[in-house]
């Protein structure tokens, strides 16, 4: 067993249950969460995972929470009032919704065939998932790279295919950009989905979808891949709505 002092409290249950054996190092610390490289040792060798631990109540800063939360149903009326009133209990409940939503959306995205990390386990404020990278470090974000035009053109088609696959599964990432697209061995992987929305339920769905498409197209245009984001977004949305009808 690893020294418990070396494992963040939010990850100790994963160690106790044998899901991971310990923490190797911190990979990234952002406004909403800290990500660690963790490991599980097996007879076949060491497996690396990524563990995402959301920050405590006093340090959370989810942007435009009400936009993404719209359409998420809270059956308990008292709790619903607390969430909308932003009381401490309501903020705790909203936080739990964010964590639970990322677990749920990852599962749905995987079922839809989109390129997202495999989910290993989720518990409390933490998620353990597939690690994209190697022992030297995580895969780079697209924002850190300047891809050759031919390579960028292939990556663009893959990303837009994933965007379409997610939409067919009623999922809109809601914050898609080169900062949450990893690139590893010629493959793109979409990450960070706590703000993802259900296109059937959120009245801001089309706005969020169109913004995602614009963000993706803007990055790839700089790499020499031409596109018309408004035409793409309109076509995909029309196909989605036709399929629903």
How much is the pLDDT for 65?
A: 55
The answer as to CATH 3.30.200.20 being correct for domain 4-134 is: yes
Fold of domain 139-244:
Transferase(Phosphotransferase); domain 1 (1.10.510)
Cα gap 50→216, rounded to integer Å: 24
Which runs of E-coded beta strand occur in the chain? 22-29, 33-42, 45-54, 119-123, 126-130, 133-134, 137-138, 171-172, 181-184, 187-190, 197-198
Distance of alpha carbon 100 from alpha carbon 107, whole angstroms:
11
pLDDT of residue 102: 86
| Residue 2 pLDDT exceeds 80 | no
Outline which parts of the chain fall under CATH 3.30.200.20.
4-134
Q: What is the Cα–Cα distance from 218 to 87, expressed in whole angstroms? A: 39
Q: How confident is the model at residue 195 (pLDDT cuts 50, 70, 90)?
A: confident
Q: Residue 93 burial by CB count (10 A; 0-12/13-18/19+): exposed, middle or buried?
A: middle
This prediction's pTM:
0.84
How would you label 58-85 residue by residue, b for 16+ Cβ within 10 Å and e otherwise? eebebeebeebbeebebeeeebeebbee
**Separation CA 208–CA 194 (nearest Å):** 14
Model confidence pLDDT, tens digit, residues 55-73: 765 544 544 455 444 444 4
Residues of the chain with CATH 1.10.510.10: 139-244
pLDDT in tens, 126-163: 999 999 999 999 999 999 999 999 999 999 999 999 99
Query: Two tokens at 110?
Result: 């995987």
- Rounded Cα distance between 114 and 193, Å, is 12
Residue 184: strand pairing partners: 187
Interacting residues of 133 by C-beta distance below 8 A, sequence separation 6+: 48, 139, 182, 184
pLDDT in tens, 79-130: 344 344 444 433 444 444 567 788 889 999 999 999 999 999 998 889 999 9
């Amino acid at each position: 067993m690893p020294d418990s002092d070396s494992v963040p409290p939010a990850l100790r249950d994963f160690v106790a249950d044998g899901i991971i054996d310990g923490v190797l190092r911190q990979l990234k610390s952002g406004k909403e969460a800290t990500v660690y490289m963790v490991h599980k040792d097996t007879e076949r060798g060491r497996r690396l995972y990524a563990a995402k631990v959301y920050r405590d109540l006093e340090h959370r800063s989810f942007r435009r929470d009400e936009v993404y939360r719209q359409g998420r149903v809270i059956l308990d009326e008292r709790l619903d009032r607390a969430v909308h009133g932003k009381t401490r209990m309501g903020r705790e409940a909203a936080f739990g919704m964010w964590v639970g939503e990322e677990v749920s959306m990852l599962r749905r995205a995987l079922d839809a065939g989109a390129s997202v990390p495999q989910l290993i386990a989720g518990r409390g404020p933490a998620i353990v998932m597939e690690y994209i990278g190697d022992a030297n470090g995580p895969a780079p974000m697209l924002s850190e790279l300047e891809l050759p035009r031919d390579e960028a053109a292939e990556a663009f088609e893959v990303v837009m295919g994933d965007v379409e696959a997610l939409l067919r599964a009623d999922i809109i990432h809601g914050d898609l950009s080169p900062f949450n697209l990893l690139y590893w061995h010629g493959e793109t992987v979409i990450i960070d989905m706590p703000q993802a929305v259900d296109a059937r339920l959120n009245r801001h769905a089309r706005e969020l979808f169109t913004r995602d498409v614009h963000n993706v197209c803007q990055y790839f245009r700089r790499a020499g891949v031409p596109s018309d984001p408004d035409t793409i977004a309109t076509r995909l949305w029309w196909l989605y709505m036709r399929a629903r009808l």
